[in-house]
Homo-oligomer: A and B are copies of this chain.
Amino acid sequence: MFTYQTTIKLHDTDAAGLLFFSNQFTIMHDSYEALLGKLRFPFASLIRKKDYFLPIVHAESDYRSSLFVGDRLSVGVTVEHLGITSFTLAYTIKKDKRRIVGVGKTIHVAIDKKSHTKIPLPDNLRRALRRFS
């Protein structure tokens, strides 16, 4: 499992005093970017150099506990499903490396940049993702 560490910043919170719910998704994406970097598919080259995109077609989150500015989170990411043209990432968010405070999921589809149609996951990406499945 890949693990990403972060801390809740003031800008992640809202006037109700806690993490704004959209920002759990943003933290999940931050950990996905770190995972891709680890797999040598840095986001910068994905956007600038590759001939495909990996847009998210579905995302979901459950919130089990209130989170406050300064809370230290570790996000575990696994590849839950590797399909022909898509993959699913599952996220488990813990506070202080112990208590699960949230879980989530994102589904990504490989899209050709030119034709804007689905394509099979490139082989090298598939092999890389398999490391965390």
The chain B residue with its CB closest to the CB of A70 is B44
Contact (Cβ within 8 A) B33 A10: yes
- Interface segment, A60-68, A81-89, A125-133? A60-68
Distance in angstroms between the alpha carbons of A29 and B11 in the assembled complex: 8
- If A11-B14, A22-B23, A26-B11 touch, does A69 touch B57 (CB 8 Å cutoff)? no
Task: Give the number of times this chain occurs in the complex, counting copies.
Answer: 4
Contact (Cβ within 8 A) B56 A59: no
Instruction: Place the interface of chain A in its size category.
Output: 35 or more
Distance in angstroms between the alpha carbons of A54 and B20 in the assembled complex: 12
Distance in angstroms between the alpha carbons of A47 and B18 in the assembled complex: 12
Contact with B along A24-60 (1 / 0, CB 8 A): 0110011001000100001110010000010111111
- If A33-B69, A47-B69, A57-B63 touch, does A11 touch B20 (CB 8 Å cutoff)? yes
